[in-house]
């Protein structure tokens, strides 16, 4: 079970770091899109990015101390719930052109929950 938890943690950490880094630095199209399309402030975008980067760090450190990894995975899952709420508010799920990208938080939520559960079982 630990091998599964380690693989899920590493994959989720890479995704969280790749998604959070540009947001934390307010660089790239994603940060600009969150500000213009979603109506989020620059400070909130930066906060979300820093939370994603922190989750990545917690997931990596959680390989050595599972309670931290469980907390990081649970926190990342909550971030994805917030992302779904934001996508619902702006109507991304009704627009076929935007629906594909808006589904990513659902997938990442499922992976984060699976990571937390497998880390818990590996203890």
Rounded-to-integer distance, Cα 90 and Cα 76, Å:
21
pLDDT in tens, 3-33: 999 999 999 999 999 999 999 998 888 888 8
44-70 pLDDT, tens digit per residue, is 999 999 999 999 999 999 999 999 999
| Count of domains forming the chain | 1
Which range of residues forms the domain containing residue 57? 2-122
Which pTM was predicted?
A: 0.92
Euclidean distance between CA atoms 86 and 3, whole angstroms? 34
């Amino acid at each position: 079970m630990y091998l599964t938890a380690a693989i899920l943690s590493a994959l989720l950490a890479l995704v969280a770091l790749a998604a959070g880094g540009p947001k934390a630095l307010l660089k790239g199209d994603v940060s600009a899109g969150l500000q213009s399309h979603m109506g989020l402030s620059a400070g909130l975008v930066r906060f979300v990015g820093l939370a994603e980067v922190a989750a990545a760090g917690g997931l990596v450190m959680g390989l050595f101390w599972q309670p931290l990894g469980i907390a990081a995975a649970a926190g990342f899952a909550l971030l994805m719930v917030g992302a779904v709420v934001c996508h619902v508010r702006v109507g991304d799920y009704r627009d076929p052109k935007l629906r594909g990208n808006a589904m990513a938080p659902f997938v990442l939520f499922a992976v984060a929950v699976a990571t937390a559960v497998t880390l818990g079982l590996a203890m």
